[in-house]
Amino acid sequence: MNMNNLNINNWIIKHNLETLDYYSESETIFAQANGYFGTRGTLEEGCSQEIEGTFVNAFYDTEEIVYGEAAYGYAKNRQTQLLVPNSKTIYISIDGEVLDVEKSIIENHSRELDLKTGIINRSLKWRTNTGKEVLINTERLISMEYENLMAINLSLKPLNFSGEINIKSGIKRDKLNDIDENDPRVSGELKYSLNIYDKYCEKDLIIAKSKTNNSNLGLITSIINKVDNVIDREIEKSDESTDNNIYESINIKVVENEVCNLTKYCYYYFDKQDRLENEIDHKIKDFRELCKNNYGYYKESQEKYYNKFWENSDIVIDGDNEIQAAIRFNIFHLIQSVGKNGKTNIAAKGLTGDGYEGHYFWDTETYVIPHFIYTNPDIAKKLLEYRYSILSKAKDRAKEMSYKGALYPWRTICGEESSAYYPAGTAQIHINADIMYSIKKYYEVTEDLEFMISKGFEMLLETSRFYADYSDYIEGRGYCINGVTGPDEYCALVNNNTYTNMMVRYQLKFLVDFIESLKANDKKLYNDILSKFNVKIKEIKLFEDIYKNMYIHYDEEKGLIGQDDAFLNKKVWDFKNTPKENYPLLLNYHPMVIYKHQVIKQADLILSMLLIPENFTYEEKKANFDYYEKVTTHDSSLSECIHGIIANELGYEDMSYKFFENTVKTDLYDLHNNVKNGVHIASMAGSWQCIVFGFGGMRQIDGVLHFNPRLCDKFNKIEFKIRFKGRVIKVSIERDKTDYQLVSGKNITIVNNGEVIELVKLF
Q: Which of the residues are catalytic?
A: 489
Q: Least distance to ligand BGC from the beta carbon of 664, Å?
A: 17
- What is the Cα–Cα distance from 577 to 584, expressed in whole angstroms? 15
Is the Cβ–Cβ distance between 418 and 436 less than 8 Å? no
Amino acid 125 reads K
Instruction: Give the nearer residue to ligand BGC in terms of CB position, either 351 or 705.
Output: 351
Does 393 belong to an annotated binding site? no
- What is the Cα–Cα distance from 736 to 525, expressed in whole angstroms? 49
Instruction: Give the nearer residue to ligand BGC in terms of CB position, either 52 or 604.
Output: 604
Q: Least distance to ligand BGC from the beta carbon of 487, Å?
A: 6
Q: Least distance to ligand BGC from the beta carbon of 407, Å?
A: 16
Residue choice 362, 510, 652, 659 for contact with ligand BGC (CB under 6 A) = 362
Instruction: Give the nearer residue to ligand BGC in terms of CB position, either 172 or 601.
Output: 601
DSSP string, 465-490: HHHHHH-EEETTTEEE--SB--S-TT
Stretch that binds ligand BGC, among 90-98, 146-154, 297-305, 358-366 (CB under 6 A): 358-366
Q: Least distance to ligand BGC from the beta carbon of 720, Å?
A: 25
Stretch that binds ligand BGC, among 69-77, 357-365, 470-478, 720-728 (CB under 6 A): 357-365
Does 602 belong to an annotated binding site? yes
- What is the Cα–Cα distance from 637 to 683, expressed in whole angstroms? 6
Neighbours of 60 (CB within 10 A): 25
Footprint of ligand BGC on residues 487-526 (CB under 6 A)? Answer: 487, 489
Instruction: Give the nearer residue to ligand BGC in terms of CB position, either 52 or 363.
Output: 363
Pairing of strands 149-158, 60-64: unpaired
Is the Cβ–Cβ distance between 324 and 665 less than 8 Å? no
Burial call 726-762: b when 16+ CB within 10 Å, e when fewer: ebbbebbbeeeebebebbeeeebebebeeeeeebeee
Neighbours of 278 (CB within 10 A): 9
CA-based nearest residue to 76, from 466, 414, 435 = 414
CA-based nearest residue to 406, from 421, 422, 388, 424 = 388
- What is the Cα–Cα distance from 268 to 276, expressed in whole angstroms? 12
Instruction: Give the nearer residue to ligand BGC in terms of CB position, either 347 or 529.
Output: 347
- What is the Cα–Cα distance from 405 to 468, expressed in whole angstroms? 9
Does 310 belong to an annotated binding site? no
Q: Least distance to ligand BGC from the beta carbon of 237, Å?
A: 40
Stretch that binds ligand BGC, among 74-82, 200-208, 360-368, 644-652 (CB under 6 A): 360-368
Q: Does 250 help bind ligand BGC (rule: CB under 6 A)? A: no
Q: Least distance to ligand BGC from the beta carbon of 182, Å?
A: 15
Stretch that binds ligand BGC, among 53-61, 218-226, 290-298, 361-369 (CB under 6 A): 361-369
Binding mask 390-419 for ligand BGC (x = CB under 6 A): ------------------------------
Binding mask 551-590 for ligand BGC (x = CB under 6 A): ----------------------------------------
Beta-bridge partner residues of 169: 90, 248
Q: Residue 328: which H helix or E strand, with range?
A: helix 321-337
Binding mask 49-88 for ligand BGC (x = CB under 6 A): ----------------------------------------
- What is the Cα–Cα distance from 648 to 711, expressed in whole angstroms? 9
Instruction: Give the nearer residue to ligand BGC in terms of CB position, either 38 or 350.
Output: 350
Q: Does 361 help bind ligand BGC (rule: CB under 6 A)? A: yes
At residue 713, what are phi and psi to the nearest 5 degrees? -75, 0
Q: Least distance to ligand BGC from the beta carbon of 357, Å?
A: 11
Query: Please, what's the largest Cα pairwise distance for the chain?
Result: 90
Q: Least distance to ligand BGC from the beta carbon of 159, Å?
A: 48
CA-based nearest residue to 743, from 725, 757, 730 = 730
Instruction: Give the nearer residue to ligand BGC in terms of CB position, either 362 or 628.
Output: 362
Q: Does 363 help bind ligand BGC (rule: CB under 6 A)? A: yes
Angle, alpha carbons 212-214-219 (nearest 5°): 20
Stretch that binds ligand BGC, among 108-116, 139-147, 294-302, 355-363 (CB under 6 A): 355-363
DSSP string, 106-147: EEEEEEEEETTTTEEEEEEEEE-TT--EEEEEEEEEE-SSST
Instruction: Give the nearer residue to ligand BGC in terms of CB position, either 634 or 723.
Output: 634
Instruction: Give the nearer residue to ligand BGC in terms of CB position, either 363 or 670.
Output: 363
CA-based nearest residue to 94, from 68, 70, 128, 63 = 128
Q: Does 636 help bind ligand BGC (rule: CB under 6 A)? A: yes
Footprint of ligand BGC on residues 674-703 (CB under 6 A)? Answer: 682
Q: Least distance to ligand BGC from the beta carbon of 636, Å?
A: 4
Footprint of ligand BGC on residues 453-492 (CB under 6 A)? Answer: 487, 489
Q: Does 638 help bind ligand BGC (rule: CB under 6 A)? A: yes
Strand order in the sheet with 6-9: 6-9, 12-16, 105-114, 119-127, 133-142, 149-158, 260-272, 217-227, 205-211, 195-202
Does 363 belong to an annotated binding site? yes
- What is the Cα–Cα distance from 33 to 572, expressed in whole angstroms? 44
Torsion of CA 586, 675, 345, 543, to 10 degrees: 30
Do you find a cis peptide bond into 487, omega within 30 degrees of 0?
A: no
Q: Does 348 help bind ligand BGC (rule: CB under 6 A)? A: yes
Stretch that binds ligand BGC, among 273-281, 356-364, 615-623, 701-709 (CB under 6 A): 356-364
Q: Alpha helices of 522-569 — where are they, by DSSP H?
A: 523-532, 537-548
- What is the Cα–Cα distance from 551 to 560, expressed in whole angstroms? 15
Q: Does 356 help bind ligand BGC (rule: CB under 6 A)? A: yes
Which class for 64: exposed (0-12), middle (13-18), buried (19 or more C-beta within 10 A)? exposed
Q: Least distance to ligand BGC from the beta carbon of 685, Å?
A: 11
Instruction: Give the nearer residue to ligand BGC in terms of CB position, either 128 or 639.
Output: 639
Instruction: Give the nearer residue to ligand BGC in terms of CB position, either 176 or 638.
Output: 638
Residue choice 602, 666, 677, 687 for contact with ligand BGC (CB under 6 A) = 602
Q: Least distance to ligand BGC from the beta carbon of 36, Å?
A: 21
Amino acid 637 reads S
Q: Residues marked as binding for substrate?
A: 362-363, 601-602
Binding site residues, as ranges?
362-363, 601-602
Residues that bind ligand BGC (CB under 6 A): 348, 356, 361-363, 487, 489, 601-602, 636, 638, 682
